[in-house]
Structure formats: structure tokens, C-alpha cells
Structure 1
Amino acid sequence: MKSWVQMSGKIIIASTLAGSLLAGCSGGKQEGEGAGESGKQEPVELVFYQTGNADWTEDDFMNNYGNYIKQKFPNITPKFVPVPASKNMDGLITGGQQFDILIFSIGHTHLNLIRNEFQYDISDLIKKKNVDLSRFEPFTIEQQKEIAGGGIYGLPLSNTSPVLMYNKDIFDKFGVPYPKDGMTWDEVYDLAKQLTRSDNGTQYYGFLASPEHILKTNQFSAPFVDPKTFKPMFDDPKMMTFLDNLKRFYELIPTTDGKPLEGGFFASTAQSRMFSKDKTLAMWSHFSNSAVNFPDDLNWDYASLPYFKELGQVGPQAYPGYIYISKTSKHKDEAMDVIQALTSDEFQTIRSKMGIETALKNPEIKKTFAQDLPKYKGKNIQAIFPQQYAAPAPLTEYNDLAWKRLNEAFGDIGRGKKDIVTAVRDSSELLAKDIQAEQTKKK
């Protein structure tokens, strides 16, 4: 039985699946089913908001989460606030919109949860509901405890990290061996040199990475902002090494009449088009889940993200997605029951089968990754799970500002407009002003 269906590039859970899963369950109480005795419960509406799916409709939400929730908890009516209703949360908050459950990536947690003061420590609810935190990848919980100063605001709902994706046809065309798991950056650079070439009027490119995403998850765990002083840390030697490594790949790209490279070489959407539609990019690094929308005629595969010799086989940092209970919610108990259901082995297995990485440690769930997606058949799935994730870099409420400034700086570096030292110095000065402006707003 197909557990999910794919429509218009979106992955959605078929509503019939939730019913069939429950029908097949034994009479025992299911994990996360604390509010499942709905006959004894009053009707409750829980309002959801999430970032990362700007085109989601109410139907998309229901097919991904809502129908499963309703099957588990018939007394709960999930309501979704579409992202297009406001490009950020400000308009919704000003309009008096209340939220119960919030779903944000780690990158949006400070920006949307903490900056808007929706954070709520669920430590007591975790104890009350007997939530077993040891089921989750340890770094996902450690990251939450760091953000909450020892408490915990949310549980990990999903995970992803950068990986290397490559077009087999381009390698075959030029007789270059495919990349393998466990390669160093130097080895991948050698491949990129062989594949950056023109053939019959078509320019091919060896390697590109989405700077925004690979910098956020850098293998050195280099911080962007000092968590104590809030001073920019772009000039940290580890970050400078990472920037220098990425820079050399862009230096391979030929320019026209000495003009700087176009912005598309630094934007993930344009890179995705070069890799999957134009088929002129041999290797691309982005989050592993970006492969879900590749066309069926693309002859591609995964390899693990290259390693730095000095670090050994340390992969990138993870980029989890978390599910939170809003401080303003009047139904925190019910919200916690829903969170338990969405982080249960059952639901996480459903999501894993359709190409959404779990943040649970359970190796059996990881083995099910993308089993129900034909385009992943025969792919090197193990490459997306690093043998060792890099430790999470310290986060602050100003990291979203820092990511923006460093991404801009790398654009200048990659285009050859500025050397690394100058670009880092200039972006650090701009970030310091950004942080000062934010701090002034609070006073």
C-alpha cells in the first residue's frame, strides 16, 4: 500500500493511511496517545503555524499532519495558519492571531519563536507525560537545552544536513569516476577541476554548494556570534578555513570578459535548476531532502559530504526541525499529546518512508528512508546519515542576521569582488551595527 502520495512537487500523507494504521493496531495504548480517550475529553481546537513551506494550503497541512492528528485524537481539531497570510509572523501577531503549536527549523527558532516571545519550557510536561528524551539524537536535545538555558522549548520533528549529490551522466560523459563516501574536500576539488569544462558549446560546472546552508552547518562548528558578548565571530580561524575551502571551487568557474559571476551561482534555487533541469552541474551540495523534487529523468546519486583532513570523518552539523508549544496556548496538555504522537516511532516511520529524515536514534526507522519513493530506489541512502555529526555551534538570537551578512560576504568573495579578509571585516562591521540596532529596539 502506498502510504503517501506526491502531488505538484509536495509530499503529503494520504488520509486513508492514518485510518489503516490505526485499524491495524492492537488494543494497547499507542505511544503519544495520552489524549486518545477522546470520549472523556472536551473538544479542543489547536492552531498550528510553521515556516519552511510557504506554498502550503490547509489541505497540505491536513494531509501531512492534520488527518493523522484527527485519527489519533478525535476531540482535537487542528487548524493551520498558512504562511502566505503574512510573510513573517508580525502581521499575524498584530492582528491578534493566537497559536498553540509552532513548527520551526533550528534556523528560525530564535527569529520566530524567541524574538516574538512565544517560547515555553515544556520540562514539566515532559515529566508529566513520561517523554523519553533518550529516543532522540542527543545533539537535538542538547541544542534545545542550550537555547532554553537548561530547560527545553520543543522536541525535534525532523532532521536534515548537507550531502553531496552528483549527476552520473556528466561523470560518464567525461570518463571521470563517481565521488565516493569518505572523500576529502581535496579529492572532490580534483573531481571538480576535471568536470569544469566546455563541450560543444555547453559549459559544465564541477561543484557548487548553497553557501547559506553549508555555512550554517559548517563542519568546524565555527560560531557566527559570540553567545556571551554578541560580537561577530566571522574572523574565527575555523570559519576562515571553511570560507577559503569553498572559495576555491568558485575560482574554477570561467567568467566572461572578466565580469563577476552571476548571482545564480550563489542561490540555491538557481543551483538546483543547473543541477536537475539544465544538467550542467556535476556535483551539488545542499540539504539531502532537496532531492525530493528532482525530475524522474535525472540520473543522480548521493555521496557523503567531503571531510576535512584535519577533522577526520566528521560530517556537517545537523539542521533539525522542532515542534514547539506556544506560551500563549490555553491547551498545553493537549498540545503535548499531539507532539508525542508526531514524534512517535509510528509517525516518524511514515515520514521516513517518504524521504523526511527522522531525528530519532532508532536505526530501524532510518533504514526505511524513502522506501515509498521510486526515485530513491538504488540510491546511496546511507550517505545522508553522517557517521559523526559535527557538534552544534552556539546559537544566539542574532544568528539570522549573521547568516545573512556572511552569505552576502561570501557572494563578494566568490565573485572576486573582495578577498576573504576584507569581506569578513566589512560584513562583521555591518553585523555589529545590525545587532546594535536590534538591541536598541528592546530598550
Structure 2
Amino acid sequence: MAKKSSYLLLASMLSTVALSGCGGQGNEGKGTAQDVQDKKKEPYTMTIFTRGVSADEFDDRFRKAIEKKFPHITFKYIMAGTGTQITDLVSQGTIPDIMRIDVPSMNTEYIDVGLAYGLGDLIKKYNYNLKRFNSVFIDEMISAGRTGELYGLPVPPYFPMALYYNKELFDRFGVPYPKDGMTWDEVYEIAKKMTRVDGEVYRGFSSSTNAMLRDNPFSLPILDPAADKLADPGKWTQIFNNYLRFYQIPNNVMEKTATLEGNAFGKGKVAMMAGQQNIYFIIPPEVNWDMVAYPTITGAPKLMGQRGPAYWSITKQSQHKEEAFEVIMEMLSDEIQMEDSKKGIATTLVNPDIKKMLGKSHPVFSTKNMNAVNFYEPTSPTPKRKPELVDIPGRTQEAAILEAFTSVVTNQADVNSALRMAEEKLKKAIDAEKAAKK
């Protein structure tokens, strides 16, 4: 695996302490809260805030378990929306106890608004075993915080990259199905064979373009970690050229927007799509699809690119930090993650028994090659900005690189010019952020 960030030192120290106090596999990560369990529990309300997880999903995955485990707690669930953004809650003085944060927005919606709370002391107190998680996700959170603190624990799903294919089209044109372990060169040759006009146009390849660029197997960041510029233009040139050739195949024309391109596979006229294994990505039932491991690119580690998970975090203002941590431990337990995995929600744990159950109880995923997402280990997280440098939101960076790639595909710019334009957009965004901080 690619070299880990130096921030892993903290995770290693914490997990070493954790291992000294853990019992057998069935108790890993559950902690030792006997002192709290033995005391009479006074009833109170604990508030949990998330972005992007509906109340129905939260109830289905977590509520029953935590209400059973903590009967004295009334759980108030708030989903971000109009009037309930975290900035709204802070201004109203209704700060949640637990938050579900993600890396792209953790600065603006957690750290910068004064909510951040490092979990190190609680991890030590409960002898919590960080090694039950894939180390990539722990490293990601520590490095993203840029302080050496661990601000959250990884909650499924994460979004591994995979290559989808339409079995009906491959059968129709007599081309063998893709398989796990292919290179992008091999996929390119298949895409050329599968792009054809047979009464109507059939495309050989489409993509979730933003994910394909951002979640690249080099773990290449968009913004340079040490300077106000685009990271490694030479490597971005290689990435652009690798994907660009697919859209230069005659008749394999990219859709007009990234959203349309990401949904093209579901129309049934595209042979292959590079995208995320995503419980929220619904392919119409009339498309007979399957998937294989994400292809490898020349010079990159044989690892699977992915959009990392969100994280359960605790606010600095919470008056119930210890029980909030206990609630988080329960929501990340082996039992809950096993049920998640069976539904097709990729686990953040290293437990092989949980991994191999991915999608087993899902009516669609249970018929697919779900092992494709575990064929390679996840890539290391992209290097983060030095703490002394001004950072800009991940979504701003993603927009700049996506616009650059689209301009090349649509023949509005060559690769070098497009990357220079992306760098200029990044610099302007950094300058605006510096001005806002004055």
C-alpha cells in the first residue's frame, strides 16, 4: 500500500493503548463502560445532527439499537436543511451532541465554527480499538483536521470505485464480459469494440466523471499540499490523457453535463461505466448489469480509489461527551455494520466476515459481484494542506478540475491549457479565502 501519512503515528499510539485492554473479537471496539453502566441513569435528550442521511435511514440503521442500549436517553435527530444548517443551530444555541461530518466540509462546518473536539482522551478511557477500522479512514480524518487530533470515527458507507457493465449489450455483440483485475488499457480496447452504431448509437464507456478524477488511484490531490498551486500537473496530465482517450472514440460522446453523464449507464445504451459502488445509485431494473474491480492505471499502486466515509464526531459544547462516545461505539458496532453490509453498505471495518456479506440480503446486490469492491485495498488518503496554508473547500477544488477535464473532452482547450485554467481558478479561490480571513 502507498506510504501512510505521518499523522498515523497518533492513531498507532492510540490503538496500541486500545489493544492492551480489548478482549476477544466479539467485544472489539465496544469499550469498558462498566462504571457508567452501574450507575442509575437520569433521563435526558441527546441531539444527533447529520447531513444527507434521511430520518428514515437513520431510524432503520441506528435508532432501534441505540434506544435499546440507552433507554434513559431520548434521541433528537436533526438533518441539515433550510433553517437547520449547522450554522443555524450554532446561532440558535442548539448545538448537537453528535455530528456526522465529512472531510470536504469539516473545516467550514465543524472546526471553523468552534465545534471541534478531539477524541483521544475518550479513546484511551474506553480502551477503544482503532485497529478494527481500515487504517486509511483513520489516517484520513487525522490528516484532514491538520492538528494531529482525531475528530471522528468512520461510519459507513464509503464509496469504492468500480467498473459497471451491461451484460445484455455484451451478449448482444458477442464480446466477453470484463473481469476483475483489468488495466485501463484493456478496458479501452473493450470500449472501442463496444462503441458502435447498430440501428442506434451504443456507447462503450461512460463515467461518474467527478468521482473518477477526484478518487484517482494515485491519491493525487487537486490543490498542492505545500503551495498555492495545482498539485503535480504532470501527474494530472497522465490522468487526463488516460480518461480522455475514451471520449475520443468515435460515437462515444460525453453527455452535456456531469449529472447526465453519470446517469447515462442507466439508460441501457452504454456498455461500461466507471463509478462508485453506492447504495444511493439506483440502476433501473430493466438494465442487466454487474460490476468488476476498478481498473488499474500504469504507474499507480494496485489499489482501489474511493470517496472516504463520513465520521461520527462529538461537539466541544456537549455536556454528555462520555455517553455520546458510547452511542457512537454502538452505532459502529460489529452487529450494526454487519447489518449495513448485508444491505450493500460497504463497511469501514477490516473484519473479513463483515466484508464478505456485502449485499447478501439486498434483492439486487445479492445477485452481483460485490467482491469487486474488495478486490483491491483502498488507496491512501490524498495529502492535505500544511496547517499554516490557507485551504479551500474540497468541492471548490473538484469543480475546478472537473471543468478543466470537460473543456478538454469538448475540444475547448488542450490538456495543458485546461490545467493552467484550473490552477488559476484555485489561486483565485485561495486569494478570496485569504481576503475573507483578514
User: What residue is the counterpart of 1:187 in the other structure?
Assistant: 186
User: What residue is the counterpart of 2:9 in the other structure?
Assistant: none
Cα shift at 1:272: 4.7
Is the contact made by 2:47 and 2:76 (CA closer than 8 Å) also made in structure 1?
Answer: yes
Question: Cα gap change, 1:419/1:94 in structure 2, threshold over 3 Å: closer, same or farther?
Answer: farther
- Asked if residue 422 in structure 1 is aligned to residue 417 in structure 2, the reply is yes
User: What residue is the counterpart of 1:127 in the other structure?
Assistant: 124
| 2:413 partner letter | K
Q: Which moved more, 1:422-431 or 1:105-114?
A: 105-114
- Asked if residue 306 in structure 1 is aligned to residue 295 in structure 2, the reply is yes
Cα shift at 1:203: 1.8
- Asked if residue 263 in structure 1 is aligned to residue 262 in structure 2, the reply is no
CA distance in structure 2 between the partners assigned to 1:195 and 1:156 by the alignment: 39
Cα shift at 1:244: 1.4
| 1:414 partner letter | V
| 1:136 partner letter | F
User: What residue is the counterpart of 1:237 in the other structure?
Assistant: 234
Question: Cα gap change, 1:314/1:176 in structure 2, threshold over 3 Å: closer, same or farther?
Answer: same
| 1:361-403 Cα deviation digits (max 9, x unpaired) | 1101101111111212332121111423222111344233211
User: What residue is the counterpart of 1:213 in the other structure?
Assistant: 211
Gaps of 5+ in 2: 1-26, 386-390
CA distance in structure 1 between the partners assigned to 2:216 and 2:28 by the alignment: 42
User: What residue is the counterpart of 2:5 in the other structure?
Assistant: none
Question: Cα gap change, 1:228/1:234 in structure 2, threshold over 3 Å: closer, same or farther?
Answer: closer
User: What residue is the counterpart of 1:351 in the other structure?
Assistant: 340
Is the contact made by 1:161 and 1:317 (CA closer than 8 Å) also made in structure 2?
Answer: yes
Q: Give the percent of matched residue pairs that are identical in Structure 1 and Structure 2.
A: 34
Mapping for residues 310-389 of structure 1, pairs under 5 Å:
310-311=299-300, 313-389=302-378
Is the contact made by 1:164 and 1:303 (CA closer than 8 Å) also made in structure 2?
Answer: yes
TM value normalised by structure 2 = 0.85
SS at match of 2:124: helix
Question: Cα gap change, 1:117/1:172 in structure 2, threshold over 3 Å: closer, same or farther?
Answer: farther
SS at match of 2:424: helix
Question: Cα gap change, 1:290/1:174 in structure 2, threshold over 3 Å: closer, same or farther?
Answer: farther
- Asked if residue 407 in structure 1 is aligned to residue 428 in structure 2, the reply is no
Is the contact made by 1:205 and 1:253 (CA closer than 8 Å) also made in structure 2?
Answer: no
| 2:256 partner letter | G
Q: Which moved more, 1:429-438 or 1:290-299?
A: 290-299
Cα shift at 1:139: 1.1
User: What residue is the counterpart of 1:14 in the other structure?
Assistant: none
User: What residue is the counterpart of 1:160 in the other structure?
Assistant: 159
SS at match of 1:437: helix
Question: Cα gap change, 1:358/1:38 in structure 2, threshold over 3 Å: closer, same or farther?
Answer: farther
Q: 2:103 aligns with which of 106, 114, 129?
A: 106
Question: Cα gap change, 1:351/1:283 in structure 2, threshold over 3 Å: closer, same or farther?
Answer: same
| 1:108-152 Cα deviation digits (max 9, x unpaired) | 333432343322111001111111011110111112222333220
CA distance in structure 2 between the partners assigned to 1:317 and 1:392 by the alignment: 9
Question: Cα gap change, 1:216/1:312 in structure 2, threshold over 3 Å: closer, same or farther?
Answer: closer
| 1:401 partner letter | T
User: What residue is the counterpart of 1:196 in the other structure?
Assistant: 195
**Runs (4+) of structure 1 moved beyond 6 Å?**
none
Cα shift at 1:30: 9.7
TM value normalised by structure 1 = 0.84
Question: Cα gap change, 1:208/1:75 in structure 2, threshold over 3 Å: closer, same or farther?
Answer: same
User: What residue is the counterpart of 2:4 in the other structure?
Assistant: none
- Asked if residue 273 in structure 1 is aligned to residue 263 in structure 2, the reply is yes
| 1:93-112 Cα deviation digits (max 9, x unpaired) | 44443122111333333343
CA distance in structure 2 between the partners assigned to 1:111 and 1:283 by the alignment: 37
CA distance in structure 2 between the partners assigned to 1:218 and 1:87 by the alignment: 34
CA distance in structure 2 between the partners assigned to 1:86 and 1:284 by the alignment: 37
Is the contact made by 2:61 and 2:336 (CA closer than 8 Å) also made in structure 1?
Answer: no
SS at match of 2:285: coil
Cα shift at 1:39: 6.9
Please give the root-mean-square deviation of Cα atoms over the aligned residues, in Å: 2.5
User: What residue is the counterpart of 2:41 in the other structure?
Assistant: 41
Question: Cα gap change, 1:414/1:115 in structure 2, threshold over 3 Å: closer, same or farther?
Answer: farther
Question: Cα gap change, 1:306/1:263 in structure 2, threshold over 3 Å: closer, same or farther?
Answer: same
- Asked if residue 51 in structure 1 is aligned to residue 54 in structure 2, the reply is no
Is the contact made by 1:318 and 1:389 (CA closer than 8 Å) also made in structure 2?
Answer: no
User: What residue is the counterpart of 1:222 in the other structure?
Assistant: 220
Q: Which moved more, 1:220-229 or 1:186-195?
A: 220-229
CA distance in structure 2 between the partners assigned to 1:409 and 1:38 by the alignment: 59
Is the contact made by 1:234 and 1:240 (CA closer than 8 Å) also made in structure 2?
Answer: no
CA distance in structure 1 between the partners assigned to 2:296 and 2:30 by the alignment: 38
Q: 1:394 aligns with which of 367, 374, 383?
A: 383
CA distance in structure 2 between the partners assigned to 1:140 and 1:222 by the alignment: 16
Cα shift at 1:184: 0.4
Is the contact made by 1:413 and 1:419 (CA closer than 8 Å) also made in structure 2?
Answer: yes
Is the contact made by 2:401 and 2:419 (CA closer than 8 Å) also made in structure 1?
Answer: yes
Is the contact made by 2:159 and 2:306 (CA closer than 8 Å) also made in structure 1?
Answer: no
CA distance in structure 2 between the partners assigned to 1:261 and 1:348 by the alignment: 37
Is the contact made by 2:30 and 2:128 (CA closer than 8 Å) also made in structure 1?
Answer: no
Cα shift at 1:427: 1.5
SS at match of 2:413: coil
Is the contact made by 2:155 and 2:332 (CA closer than 8 Å) also made in structure 1?
Answer: yes
**Aligned residue pairs, count:** 403
| 1:238 partner letter | K
Cα shift at 1:319: 1.6
Q: Which moved more, 1:360-369 or 1:305-314?
A: 305-314
